[in-house]
Structure formats: structure tokens, C-alpha cells
Amino acid sequence: MSDKVMVDVEALREQVREKYRQVATNPAGKYHFHTGRLLAARLGYDAAVVNALPEVAVESFAGVANPFSPHPLARGERVVDVGSGGGFDSFIAAAQVGSEGRVIGVDMTKEMLQKSRSTAQLLGYANIEFREGLAEALPVEDGWADVVISNGVLNLCADKRQVFAEIFRVLRPGGRLQFADIANGKPVPEVAICTIDLWTD
């Protein structure tokens, strides 16, 4: 994972927004990644948990692994979901932490926020909130979170060092970061890293 900012940050951000705008509004579209229930099964999510969710809560899921697999969330924990998208992982987190816990999902794509907020209402979750914001500037107070989760988001952020600094800031001392992301076994040429299209396609 390179710590150098090698692309135009704002241009990359807009391209990511456009890609996930499509995933929010047309989840059955053709993408270079799997989505929805097929993907959740592939990544080892608990089938009973996923099956209990309505289609609208799952269809725009586009994660890369299961951030809950290393450590289950405990009841009452406060969770931040960085890049919450359509809300799939946030809904699973909300169920795990229960009514005494809280989940704040943060996303920069308005269509994803509209979807996650309306689905939270449909599910009747009172312990979940979705806020508009960037991973590099989380709209969460210092030390608020017991756990930060994220799924397939950090690889799309140009300034990963700033994202980790923000996650560190919002975690309480002793808090956990549980995230899923991709890693490459063979080096990607620098020219490819500098090509924005290759980040999102």
C-alpha cells in the first residue's frame, strides 16, 4: 500500500463518486466487481444474517472481504463505518451492537446516503445514522468510536496516511480498526497507479 499521493485527489474522488453513484442507482449493472448477495456469500458473510436483510439493504454492497471476521462486535459498542455506501456493513454492525450501541456511517456519495438512510428507516434501526463526509475528514468527534470498520474503501483513497490518521483520531484509546481491503502480490507499475481509470475500473 503506497503512502504517496500519486494522482489528482479531487479527480479521483469524483470518479469514485460517479462509479458508486451507478452502484447505488443501478446495482444490477455490469461492474468489474461482484455486488450484492452473491458477493456477500463469496466473502463469507453469515448467510442467515444476510438473508434476513431486504434486497435494498444488500444489492449495492460492493465490499472486498469481511471486516467482521477477525473480531465480532460487542453489544453497546459505538461504530464508525468509513465509506458506508448503501449501508450493508452498517446494518450488520447495528444488529451486532444492539439498541444500546450506535453506528455512524460516513459516505461522500449522495445517492448512497439517500439509499442507506431510507433503508435504515425501512428497517426501523434507531441506533444508526449516516453522515455525509470524506474518509480524509471524518465528521465524527475525537475518541468517539470503540470500533471503526471499512470495506473496500481505503484502496480508493489517494491519501491513505490521512485516512489512517482520521481513523486513529476518532477511535478511543484501546479501540479497534477492523477493515477489509485489497492488496496486490505483484507490484503494479507506477504508470498504472497514476492512471485514475485503473483505480475504479
Partner 1 sequence: MLEQSGFVEIQIGPSCDTFGGAGGEAKARKYEVYGYPFLARKPG
Q: Which residues bind partner 1 (CB under 8 A)?
A: 1, 3, 30-34, 42-44, 63-67, 69-71, 152, 160-161, 164-165, 167-168, 171-188, 201
Q: Provide CB contacts within 8 A for 121, sequence distance 6+.
A: none
Identify whether the C-beta of residue 100 lies closer than 8 Å to the C-beta of residue 132.
no
Q: How far is the CB of 124 from partner 1 (least distance, A)?
A: 29
Residue placing its CB nearer to partner 1 in the complex, 119 or 178 = 178
Q: How far is the CB of 153 from partner 1 (least distance, A)?
A: 12
Q: How far is CA 49 from CA 68, 100, 133, 140, in A?
A: 12, 19, 28, 28
Q: How far is the CB of 10 from partner 1 (least distance, A)?
A: 22
Residue placing its CB nearer to partner 1 in the complex, 135 or 167 = 167
Q: How far is the CB of 170 from partner 1 (least distance, A)?
A: 10
Which residues on neighbouring strands pair with residue 100, listed in sequence order? none
Residue placing its CB nearer to partner 1 in the complex, 132 or 201 = 201
Question: H/E element holding 149?
Answer: strand 145-151
Q: How far is CA 25 from CA 22, 112, 145, in A?
A: 5, 8, 30
